[in-house]
Amino acid sequence: MTETAPTSSPSLLRRLAAMLYDTFLVVALVAVVNAIALAVVVRATGGEQEVLSAPVVQLLTVTSVFGFFCLFWLKNGQTLGMQAWRIKLVDYNGNPPTAGRAIVRCCGALLSAACLGLGYLWCLVDRNHRYWHDYLSRTELILLPKTPGKKPG
């Protein structure tokens, strides 16, 4: 796909549903990672939990979130939420994103959210239905066709 090629783009509602699914997974992942880190620190320091400072927790959180999205996007272009809603991340040529594009997309998504969500809402007015971080990473979301399910019996 080229930058101007028409694609089947997922609706905002479908995108939000996939984000909601992934949010539940990411919150659970971050909770587990931080609980393990806290347990390691408590065991190593004999109970001095203050050692696990806010910057360490923030670094673990950001690393966990970036890792979640980047690993799924690199594997097959889809997180679990995206799989459930038939959304796939591809570059402008229709290929799965590279590691560099995935990292840029994560950083851009933070920027999109930090601007009061305007980077996400941009897809409502953009003719290509892309977010700001799609343009930054030269990627786009496409809607996959329905696959016929197996009939019981």
pLDDT in tens, 86-96: 999 999 999 99
pLDDT band at 45 (very low <50, low <70, confident <90, very high): confident
The closest alpha carbon to 139, from 109, 97, 111, belongs to 97
In sequence order, what are the beta bridge partners of 88? 142
Residue 53 or residue 43, greater confidence? 43
CB 30 within 8 A of CB 22: no
C-alpha to C-alpha distance for 145 and 86, rounded to whole angstroms: 7
Q: Which two tokens stand for residue 58?
A: 């923030």
pLDDT band at 7 (very low <50, low <70, confident <90, very high): low
